[in-house]
Structure 1
């Protein structure tokens, strides 16, 4: 009897085991995903894609530089993904990469997909000016930097130039009654000879006022007459050659949004701005006239003050064609949404927008002694972002996107901030940086 009971117990245990094991029969069956060719391939990234699988809750992707997956790209070994695509970034340029995908449901894994091969690549050899088909791509010049490699790059990549400082008042009008056209003429002649658009910068700027004007001894009426003669003399001299002017530069204070207490404001009040625009138009009926300022994408008070000033000018029938955003920014500031919102306010006013002095600080906190690969890619991403934002605005509102400097070691930022930085598209040897390719990618979006 005891033996029979033992047999029955064994039968019961087997039945329970079978019953519990029957749950395995309901375990999901997962087919291997169908991996697709990579898209959005850039110098340092691509997007991996695949066709979704029934019953899959997620996926795992492997990325390697070896077709046998004997090693993995950092962060991309069995990386869990809830979508059917993934951007794979921070890669090396001109390098072959391999990826494969598995479907996942709990503890169940499918077989690997077929292996997809892709290669990061430098964008096709398209000059910046050809990538930007509906607006000018500009850079700055100095009269002693218009030969050799400077000239070669300007003619190959750019369609517009701006004088960095040699078409400002203290250079062209250093002494009362005595103009000096030496350097400004050289720049104008270079633009004409090389068929480059020339943006004039800048007729009125508080930081380029010669001493004799700062200390002007005549009456306010005489001061105004002198200023009218200056504006009309310069604009007339270059009529038909300078296609646009920053008539007034940086007339609004940071923070408060008040008018800057320049000698022009002291002598003529806020009306000096409207009068300078009118004088410029009287001297050249076809030239485009801009107001230009900085910190307009992150300083709400200043942007509001500038827009209110411009609204007042347009209401008073003052001839103004556009607004220049200087765009001296950093790799991590300002946010894209703030730039887009500020740009939209210019578009809403049916004015042209000039990103007029673009450079992007890679080392704003002075935390680097050399440009790291990671920071270089962050700088690249910001240059791409700026190009995308500008390219996206309506064509009627575009004018030019001007880079403020040719190569890193020539940037004004080095002296201004007193430490090393790498804010431009070319390194000190005239070699294209990651930033160059990011900018190009943004233009071609």
Structure 2
């Protein structure tokens, strides 16, 4: 427990753990403050969002909100392999470079997402008959080329993304089939060589609580540490759905990874619901966001809390989960919901000294 870090007295800490924020004054955002990033000052946790690269260019109110509310940005798609190398050997970093420049201009850090994944890979990679030796060289080159392009500009990278199945077995991917389980350790070693200053993360969904999948990551990190592989962090995506309930052991899960000495982060937080929304769902959603945030605030090494898009206008949820949505802290008109107020008030309570 990091009471010195967040400066909570016993009564305030009890309120945080219980989720009781009813006695706090209203703290609605105004045009003169700096949004969630201002509320997070003094907590030790950075507040971030995934960013739609096209919207950042074309949607002025969206762009202003990204700069005002957050101090970490993650490219939603602009740094994925199919985006940066659609044709083998020909890179296009245009949108990713624009995001990095925006972040620098607004005093923000950048989370790189993602280097090794089973999804959103270019067709030239997945449809050709490469040998295992060729695939190993291709993966190494990709990591060095992309990380080398951004060397010194990226705070943290999701190096290996979604490598386990729900039962804790390794996911069947092009990398596992060709290179075996050691592809994960190799990717981290190459990433550290490419940019020694970046924090290197494993990242996955459905690992918020203690379960077979998060157990597998816990064992993997211990194994990598024993092998002196430079794994620096564990990313908990935080995609929750109200109809499945909120995990009751999120804080306990984060604490055990914290005890390993790695950084932790909530990397892709949203809380979706079956539509239409109603007051009970809205209140439950706010508690879902707050539960994950409190778990982050109450450990020593949790460094960031990132929502996966902050506005329903650009949320991925309706396009993937039929009949579901309203998953973010802002509505389609970029107006804050109760979830936003709860996040903000939780941060302000944690930052008081």
TM-score grouping bracket, smaller chain normalisation: 0.7 to 0.9
Q: Does 1:203 align with 2:109?
A: no
Whether contact under 8 Å (1:199, 1:242) holds in the other structure is yes
Q: Give distance in 1, aligned partners of 2:213 and 2:109.
A: 30
**Which structure carries more relative contact order (alpha carbon 8 Å, separation 6+)?**
2
Kept after mapping to 1: 8 A contact 2:234/2:263:
yes
Pairing 1:4-403 to 2, within 5 Å after superposition: 46=22, 121-123=25-27, 125=29, 127-133=35-41, 134-147=44-57, 148-255=60-167, 257-298=168-209, 300-331=211-242, 335=246, 337-361=248-272, 363=273, 366=274, 368-369=275-276, 371-394=277-300, 397-403=301-307
Contact 1:383 1:442 in 2 (8 A): no
Is the 8 Å Cα contact of residues 200 and 245 (structure 1) preserved in structure 2?
yes
Q: Is the 8 A contact 2:36 2:47 kept in 1?
A: yes
Report runs of 4+ in structure 1 exceeding 6 Å deviation.
none
Q: Residues 258 and 302 of structure 2 are in contact (CA less than 8 Å); yes or no, is this contact kept in structure 1?
A: no
Which of 306, 319, 325 matches 1:421?
325
RMSD: 2.0
Higher alpha-carbon Rg: 1
Using the TM superposition, give the Cα deviation of residue 236 of structure 1 relative to its aligned residue in structure 2, in angstroms. Answer: 0.8
| Equivalenced residues, count | 323
Distance 1:275 1:286 in 2: 18
Name the CA shift for 1:246/1:341 in 2 (closer, same or farther; >3 Å). Answer: same
The Cα of 1:373 is off from its aligned counterpart by: 2.2
CA distance in 1, matches of 2:268, 2:38: 20
- Which residue among 411, 420, 435 is the counterpart of 2:339? 435
Change (3 A) 1:254 1:263: same
Distance 1:168 1:137 in 2: 22
Structure with more strand by fraction: 1
Shift of 1:336: 5.4
Q: 1: distance between equivalents of 2:209 and 2:299? A: 19
Question: Contact between 2:74 and 2:112, CA under 8 Å: does it hold in 1?
Answer: yes
Name the CA distance, whole Å, in 1 between partners of 2:206 and 2:37.
26
Structure 2: runs of 5+ lacking an equivalent: 1-14
Which structure 1 residue ranges, 5 or more long, are not aligned? 1-39, 48-119
Contact 2:45–2:305 (CA<8 Å) still a contact in 1?
Answer: yes
Would you say the 8 A contact 1:191–1:197 is kept in 2? yes
